[in-house]
Structure 1
Amino acid sequence: MTTTIAFIRSLAFTIAFYLGSIIIVPLVLLSGWLFPNHLLFLGPKLWAGWFYWCARWLGGIRLHIDGVIPKGPHLFAIKHESAYEAIMTLWLFERPAVVMKAELRKIPVWGAASNRHGSIWVDRAGSATMLRAMMKAAQAAVAAGRPVVIFPEGTRNARGATPPLAAGFAGLYKMLKLPVVPIALDTGTVWPKAFIKHPGTITLKVGAPIPPGLPRAEIESRVHTAINALQPIAPQ
């Protein structure tokens, strides 16, 4: 019975969210061309708000934020377990510049809207050309007073996985000279890489800011530990 209810709720979420997205995302793209830059970010926030509403009231997925997300330019390093936190970056942060894999830019309409919003693209191969473009886009975002958001482990991971950080994180940290705010989460407990989502509460744990200027080994170690603070403890 529990699985059946979870399936029905997941189906309701999927239908409502994607039907709403068919309307909202093209409007986001259109608004990006028609309105001044200071209105450019309202569309993506509206879309993320619709996602949050569908997840909360149709999927039964609540969100608890442990700590305070600071305002202004910071480098936010977030654990990545599901699509939930990827979309919610647009809701949780003010005018975020999110580092995303370049393949997402190919999604019809959405990719163009995300590009207009100022997403920062990086390929998994880590080519020198793409890394330079990523650094340039991140610098422009910070100059505009925007926070930069990165999933430093590079891709979505299964619950309990703690891979090493991708090389791009250390490069951004060194170049931007911003405090790093690590964020741990446990979205994989209710939002697995499967159709059926499970009602429950997601926790985002906001870590203390880490100052700029630390050696690479130290910053990577501290961030890796902090973003994995909510991972299950391996049996002894």
Structure 2
Amino acid sequence: MKAIQWLRSLVFVVQIYLAMLVVGVAFAPYALFSRAGARAACKTWCKWVFWTARWMVGIRTEVRGPVPTGDVLIAAKHQSFLDIMLIFHAVPKGKFIMKREILWTPIIGLYAKGIGCIPVARGKRGLAIKKMVRDVDAGRLEAGQLIIYSQGTRVAPGVKAPYKVGTAVLYNELGQPCVPVATNVGLFWPRKGILRKPGLAVVEFLPTMPEGLPREEFMAALQQTVEERSDALLVEAGFTPERLS
């Protein structure tokens, strides 16, 4: 049974990247000159992935909580590529703080730049944040929902990893509210490997944190909120993190 699911997963993975190529090329004339076009291409591909995930590998997707539509910072739990797609598809004008290396990835890099993602070089996040804040102040950066992964990388379900202070720096510098996001997607779409497991993959937008909180208070509240709700989503899906057992 596991072998069959693995084969189904392999076919699924291959076809979504082929679909990425088709959508990327089809939308290129529009996307190269329009941020709205780049977003439309990315959202079209996300819809395809969600639809095929349901019937090919049994992954159903759900977005919970009030989706932010204004200018906010989104501080999200990151478990796999699936939470990236679910968050981006849900919000109207999402863009990510991302590793600079992604810019050189075929198709993905082109469209990441097209939707306004902020590339960050390793070890130079502070400089990138300062430049981004200057661009916001000067009106060079489009308003919308800026998405940052507070742990800086994908973290497997139930694994404990520190939250990076860059989220608090960005929160304070931008002076915007922050929307935490919890998830359990890593149970079904892991950060590594081919196998996809059937189940309900959830991304949940949590209550907005107001602007202006002191740095330590903000980071403590953010981590507690995201971790507790992510743990609850894991338990709901039948997985109990070691720290809860």
Shift of residue 90, structure 1, vs aligned partner: 2.5
Match of 2:215 in 1: 216
Q: Percent identity?
A: 28
Give matches, 1:84-233, under 5 Å: 84-136=82-134, 144-192=142-190, 193-228=192-227, 229-231=229-231, 232=241
Q: Distance in 2 between matches of 1:230 and 1:82?
A: 14
1:167-215: CA deviation from partner (whole Å, max 9, x where unpaired): 3211110111111111111111111222101011112232110101000
**1:206 to 1:148, Cα distance in 2 relative to 1, 3 A:** same
Shift of residue 148, structure 1, vs aligned partner: 0.9
Shift of residue 227, structure 1, vs aligned partner: 1.6
Q: Distance in 1 between matches of 2:141 and 2:105?
A: 28
**1:139 to 1:168, Cα distance in 2 relative to 1, 3 A:** farther
Scaled by the length of structure 2, the TM-score of the pair is 0.86
- Secondary structure of 1:94's aligned partner: coil
- Secondary structure of 1:194's aligned partner: coil
Match of 1:234 in 2: 243
Q: Distance in 1 between matches of 2:211 and 2:220?
A: 14
**1:181 to 1:131, Cα distance in 2 relative to 1, 3 A:** closer
Aligned residue pairs: how many? Answer: 234
Asked if 2 retains the 8 angstrom alpha-carbon contact of 1:64 and 1:203, the reply is yes
Shift of residue 17, structure 1, vs aligned partner: 0.5
| RMSD, aligned CA | 2.3
1:112-165: CA deviation from partner (whole Å, max 9, x where unpaired): 221122111113313543333343456678963311111111111121123222
Asked if 1 retains the 8 angstrom alpha-carbon contact of 2:23 and 2:45, the reply is yes
Shift of residue 67, structure 1, vs aligned partner: 1.8
Asked if 2 retains the 8 angstrom alpha-carbon contact of 1:182 and 1:227, the reply is yes
Asked if 2 retains the 8 angstrom alpha-carbon contact of 1:26 and 1:113, the reply is no
> What amino acid is the match of 2:177?
P
**1:219 to 1:226, Cα distance in 2 relative to 1, 3 A:** same
Structure 1: give runs of 5+ residues left out of the alignment.
Answer: none
Scaled by the length of structure 1, the TM-score of the pair is 0.89
- Secondary structure of 1:230's aligned partner: helix
- Secondary structure of 1:148's aligned partner: strand
Structure 2: give runs of 5+ residues left out of the alignment.
Answer: 232-240
**1:204 to 1:16, Cα distance in 2 relative to 1, 3 A:** same
**1:128 to 1:189, Cα distance in 2 relative to 1, 3 A:** closer
> What amino acid is the match of 1:147?
Q
